[in-house]
Amino acid sequence: MRKLSLLILGAAIGAGSATMVSQTSLLSGMSAVAASADTYRQLSLFGDVFEKVRTDYVEKPEEAKLVEAAINGMLTSLDPHSSFMDAKSFRDMQVQTRGEFGGLGIEVTMEEGLVKVVTPIDETPASRAGVLANDIITHINDEPVQGLNLNQAVDKMRGPVNSSVTLKIQRKEAKDPVVVKLTRETIKVRPVRARVEGDIGVLRVTQFNEQTYENLRTGIEKLTSDIGADKVAGFVIDLRNNPGGLLDQAIMVSDAFLDRGEIVSTRSRNAEDTQRFSAKAGDLTKGKPLVVLVNGGSASASEIVAGALQDHKRATVLGTRSFGKGSVQTIIPLGGNGAVRLTTARYYTPAGRSIQAKGIDPDVEVLQDIPEELKGKDETKGEAGLRGHLSNGGDKEERGGSSAYIPPDASKDKQLIAAYDLLRGVRKDATNTTARPNPN
């Protein structure tokens, strides 16, 4: 049987199915036949409605789009994370999880209808051509950007490796537009950013794609070398506003800090399909103290890592309650017709906790100072706030989201400062800081 990729996808990443037919009694067999006959009657009803729409709707509809919409309606009625992906959406998802694509190497955002450069990525066509942060891209291949959304603009800048694209840029200090012609290369997204903060190594993990573990391992090695192995006070693993990604990467990242024990289990409708994933010997940090930062935007794969390190008492989890996305989506390709994203299991921490619609409660809660204009707008709804979400799967009370605000100025980031103080053994004022027992 072909192995299916399991993804843990944030709020907001060959077909196979198994059918069990019970033969314990004639009654159960008859029930199955009755259910099947009823299902076929419903499918006949769908055919009747489809035919009516196809022949009598006021304008001629696209039949392929009608079928796709019907499939997507069926899937989205199950829960907020099951859906149908057409061929383009499936390709985009694969690009995202691979963490590499043919492009220019620019991180961009949308500002007043135009594309603004956040930063060019080092050693890419954009950085070599002199593209600068805060440049405004007004035209792509002589086509105006205004009127496009961000995804449409990004699609126009991405393309096959070695193909060319021309950008017209408006730069604040320049009178005339700057025109640059770039040749696309393979761009690798950096899901982990490592930096030194005195005697502390900071690892900011922004997503879980195919590059995450290798980036993390490289980052730990560089930080240890830069600080000095005997001088490292500890590491901060910053998972705030990380929406998740690949399950195997979440397992590998957790394993990077553990020597033994279960990391996570996934439990589906059938008990025999339960899977357990355990750590292998070898802690990349050699047992150095860890603080994991989470907030209301930390979801799924982030929660697997935080939950595993918390249950094993390997790290202190600090921040605010996480999102509560505790379900597994399996991506099932449909030939050249896209793919189905289907929720197939819940995941559980080593202590058997379901995070679904509940989240990870930090060991130490630290609230940020929210700017006046953002008060009331800084909290996520959390999984529990999504219509049609899966239940927790137990008797535990569901809980909504929490603040996802991170100050742009690191000197005002109370959660990051508290992490540094914790690793350095500095006692702080308890205002807005509440110690919590480790859940069992």
For residue 369, give the amino acid letter.
D
Burial class (CB in 10 A: 0-12, 13-18, 19+), 243: buried
- 300 catalytic, yes or no? yes
Contacts with 130 (C-beta within 8 Å, 6 or more apart), sequence order: 180
DSSP H or E stretch at residue 186: strand 185-188
Contacts with 375 (C-beta within 8 Å, 6 or more apart), sequence order: none
Q: Which of 82, 83, 300, 354 is catalytic?
A: 300
Q: How many CB atoms lie within 10 A of CB 328?
A: 23
**Residue whose token pair is 């299902």:** 39
What's the gap between Cα 266 and its chain centre?
Answer: 18
- 375 catalytic, yes or no? no
Q: Which of 325, 327, 363, 413 is catalytic?
A: 325
Q: Phi-psi bin for 225: left (phi > 0), alpha (psi -120 to 50), beta?
A: alpha
DSSP 438: P
Q: Where are the alpha helices (DSSP H) in 138-294?
A: 150-157, 212-227, 247-255
Going by C-alpha positions, the residue among 190, 234, 225, 184 that lies closest to residue 210 is 190
Rounded-to-integer distance, Cα 124 and Cα 108, Å: 14
Going by C-alpha positions, the residue among 246, 359, 268, 264 that lies closest to residue 305 is 264
- Partnered with residue 246 across adjacent β-strands are 7
Q: Which of 135, 238, 311, 361 is catalytic?
A: 311
Determine the angle formed by the axes of helices 247-255 and 301-311, rounding to 10 degrees: 30
Going by C-alpha positions, the residue among 290, 289, 307 that lies closest to residue 298 is 307
DSSP H or E stretch at residue 310: helix 301-311
The sign of the dihedral angle between the CA atoms of 431, 437, 438, 440 is negative
- 311 catalytic, yes or no? yes
Structure-block tokens of residue 275: 């899977």
- How many H-runs (helices) and E-runs (strands) does the chain carry? 9, 22
DSSP secondary structure string, 56-98? HSSSPPPHHHHHHHHHHHHHHTT-TT-EEE-HHHHHHHHHHHH
Residues annotated as part of the active site: 300, 311, 325
